[in-house]
Each structure stands twice: as structure tokens, then as C-alpha cells.
Amino acid sequence: MQWYAEMLAATEPDGMIYAFADFDVPLDRMPVDFPKDVFVPLPPLRKTSD
């Protein structure tokens, strides 16, 4: 939940992240459509029980 709130704050008011595109996207962060200079880290992995 914290990652999501931080992503919204970093990309406001018009930014949008995306995970897939028909061109190469970075693998170390979430691509941001606008503004281009914003860095959004990948979301945390969900813990699974074994």
C-alpha cells in the first residue's frame, strides 16, 4: 500500500506508469509516461507462504 501511495505522489498530477509496451521498457523500474524524469521503483514482491 505504501508503494502505491508513493507512486501516486511521485507521478501527480498527470503521470501514469505502465508495465507493458510495444517497445523496450526498463527492467529496473516502472516506466512513467509523464513526467519523464520521475523514477518509480518496482513494486515490492508479495510474500508467499510455503
- The verdict on residue 3 lying in a domain is yes
Q: Return the pLDDT at 43.
A: 92
pLDDT tens for residues 1-50? 899 999 999 999 888 898 889 999 889 999 998 877 888 999 998 877 76
- The verdict on residue 15 lying in a domain is yes
Show the domain range for 29: 1-41
Q: Return the pLDDT at 35.
A: 75
Angle at 9 between CA 37 and CA 1, to 5 degrees: 120
- The verdict on residue 19 lying in a domain is yes
Q: Return the pLDDT at 33.
A: 86
Domain count, the chain: 1
SS3 at position 17: strand
Q: Return the pLDDT at 22.
A: 94
